[in-house]
Amino acid sequence: MKYLTAILLFTVMSLTAQTNTMEPLVNVTGEGIVKVIPDGVSIKVRVETQGKEAQQVKAENDQSIDKVIKFLRSQGIDSKYVQTEYINLNKNYDYNSKTYNYNANQTLTIQLKDIKMYEGVMTGLLNSGINRIDNVQFTSSKMDALKADARIEAIKDAKDKATAYAEALGQTIGKAVQISEQGTSSPQPPMYKARMMSMEMDNAGGETIAPGELMIITKIAVSFKLN
């Protein structure tokens, strides 16, 4: 019993000592934002086919996809920038006609490294057989370098915040003792999402996208010593 009491007393004293010697810190989160004009674009398109016979529906869908892929190759787009996202074949029941039909669809994501190719490629995709445009997202070939710049800006922002807090207390900050990245994002507005081919065809012959600026945002948590 005395031995157990001694252990408990020693533990309490150790915790008390740690609390009394805890370093004063300033914990802040810095945000770094870098903007750039996009030079590339990612396009997600889909071919959908419907019919009464599963094999026929799938065959027609495959033929359309084949035409789309051949068109992309004719434009000099490397195969590594064209990727199938998913392939579906569904059996659906029509309650009005009391019959079954089949729906086949395949989605492709196409990376264009030159944003100037967008108008011509999109027109060719529509003529090749796609009937859904799911999404268009802007990209930059300098993304890695931009993320590095955003991290530096986030660290500077964190230091400025910590300095301001310390000065308000008549103190100063010391060296950083902990750094933790909270994440990097490139938010984009939902500027383009079309379901039917006609929505793009209505705009054929003109400019149909406005790239604007792409933002890269990084948040980093930093702990500084408080002097």
Structure confidence at residue 93 (pLDDT): 84
Domain covering 40-139: architecture: 2-Layer Sandwich (3.30)
Structure confidence at residue 186 (pLDDT): 75
Structure confidence at residue 104 (pLDDT): 93
Q: Return the biggest CA–CA distance within the chain.
A: 91
Structure confidence at residue 209 (pLDDT): 67
Residue type, 21: T
Tokens of 125: 């995709």
Does the pLDDT value for residue 47 go beyond 70?
Answer: yes
Q: Please count the CA atoms within 13 angstroms of the CA of 42 that sit on its side-chain side.
A: 14
Domain covering 22-38+141-193+211-227: architecture: 2-Layer Sandwich (3.30)
Q: What is the mean pLDDT of the chain?
A: 83
State percent of the chain over pLDDT 70. Answer: 81
- The crossing angle, in degrees rounded to 10, of helices 54-74 and 118-128 is 150
**Model pLDDT for residues 160-208, shown as the tens digit of each residue:** 999 999 999 999 999 999 999 988 887 765 444 443 444 444 444 556 6
Identical fold, 22-38+141-193+211-227 and 40-139: no
The pTM of this model reads 0.68
Structure confidence at residue 207 (pLDDT): 64
Residue boundaries of the structural domains of the chain: 22-38+141-193+211-227, 40-139
Distance CA 11, CA 19 (A): 12
